[in-house]
Amino acid sequence: MNLLILGAGAIGIYIGGRLAEAGHRVTFIARPAAAEVLRQAGVRLKFNGEEKTVRDISVCTSPAQALAEGAYDFMVFALKSFDTTAALAELRAVTPTPPPIVCLQNGVDNEPEIARAFGAERVIAGTVTTAVSLVKPGEIMVERERGVGLALGHALSLKITEALTSAGFKTRVYPAAGPMKWSKLLVNLIGNATSAILDLSTAELFADRRVFAIERAMLLECLAVMRALKYEGVDLPGVPVRLLAFGLEQLPPFIIQPLLGRAVSGGRGKKMPSLHIDLHSGRRPLEVRWLNGAVARHGAELGVPTPVNHILTETLEALSEGRLSQEDFRRKPEVLLRLLNG
């Protein structure tokens, strides 16, 4: 297949690099500096104790350049959610009918935004559960490989699934996008905003009873919103979401706390949560508004209280923008608890 990858971060390199290695024709759209690295050195994949360099790729710096150079079976959105609006505007300026878009972004609001821009028939919802990090431009490290999920309902869904499977991905298809994307959102929330705010590892978070209480309340809010949407959790590649939901809702905290702590710490490998990485490396903006913020926003629309997700969103954005001091929260759960308790 001939595909276009919009975004040369960890997920874009992971998906595009492995598909190119399997013989598919892959073109990346990347910012000029990253594009030059890809042209000169290709992409470098580190996983399962192996290192592979893939040079048989094409690289462009804009949708206009990429679409002028050829036709594509589909394109992949592998961007941070805060880049979606600008990417759609740039794409819309080039064509009213882009190739079908496989959306592998975090959150639950990107597919609807893409559908508003180009029509629901051009969107294929997807998710990546593999823990992967960008070592440097063009080079990724797979911390723990799990797989890729795709929603059915599009004529290309099964064909793309076959292409991913042929490239070595563990793939799974889902009858509907909503339960899959919300299940991934639930997983993305775990140990993410609290780690960034308190500057603690996930192991430290889940060892502290006070912080675990925050985590559990946050996740229960997400499950309540999912229930209001009539979405049941679905198991994702390598992630038993239904067991997670059962444990949060049915088991006492003293049982689920150590179980979830071991699972989260082991599942991420050495990788810190994404919001922690972005906040403490000075990247702006953060994706929290598309994660915890999405729970709060949909909760407000549905009449479901989500105070913990709302406060975590507002606190993390204030820390990112310098309206609150990171030092005031660093390793101080009691400060965050005071905010949450009003």
Parse the chain into domains and list their residue ranges: 2-175, 181-340
Q: How far apart are CA 308 and CA 340, in angstroms?
A: 7
Q: How far apart are CA 289 and CA 280, in angstroms?
A: 17
Element (H, E) at 163: helix 157-166
How high is the pLDDT of residue 70? 87
Q: How far apart are CA 59 and CA 268, in angstroms?
A: 30
Q: Is 76 helix (H, G, I), strand (E, B) or coil?
A: strand
Pairing of strands 25-29, 2-6: parallel
How high is the pLDDT of residue 267? 64
For the chain, 342 residues long, the average pLDDT of each consecutive 10-residue run is: 96 98 97 96 93 97 95 97 97 97 98 98 97 94 95 97 97 98 97 97 92 97 98 97 96 92 72 92 95 98 98 98 97 96 86
Task: Please give the full DSSP string across 212-245, using - where no structure is assigned.
Answer: HHHHHHHHHHHHHHHHHTT-----BTTB-HHHHH
Q: Is 74 helix (H, G, I), strand (E, B) or coil?
A: strand
How high is the pLDDT of residue 272? 87
How high is the pLDDT of residue 173? 98
Residue 10 makes CB contacts below 8 A (sequence gap 6+) with 132, 133, 134, 140
Q: Which pair of tokens denotes residue 200? A: 């603690």
Q: How far apart are CA 236 and CA 148, in angstroms?
A: 8
Q: How far apart are CA 101 and CA 236, in angstroms?
A: 21
Q: Which pair of tokens denotes residue 73? A: 């079976």
Chain centre distance of CA 273? 11
Q: How far apart are CA 334 and CA 224, in angstroms?
A: 26
Q: Give pTM, 2 decimals.
A: 0.96
Q: How far apart are CA 150 and CA 176, in angstroms?
A: 9
205-221 tens-digit pLDDT: 999 999 999 999 999 99
Instruction: Examine residue 112 and say whether the peptide bond preceding it is cis (omega within 30 degrees of 0).
Output: no
Q: Are 295 and 306 in contact (CB under 8 A)?
A: yes
16-25 tens-digit pLDDT: 999 999 999 9
* Tally of CB atoms within 10 A around 138: 27
Return the closest-CA partner of residue 292 out of 268, 274, 314.
Answer: 314
Q: What is the CATH number of domain 2-175?
A: 3.40.50.720
Domain 181-340: give its CATH architecture. Answer: Orthogonal Bundle (1.10)
Q: Which pair of tokens denotes residue 305? A: 């209280």
How high is the pLDDT of residue 49? 86
Q: Are 127 and 236 in contact (CB under 8 A)?
A: yes
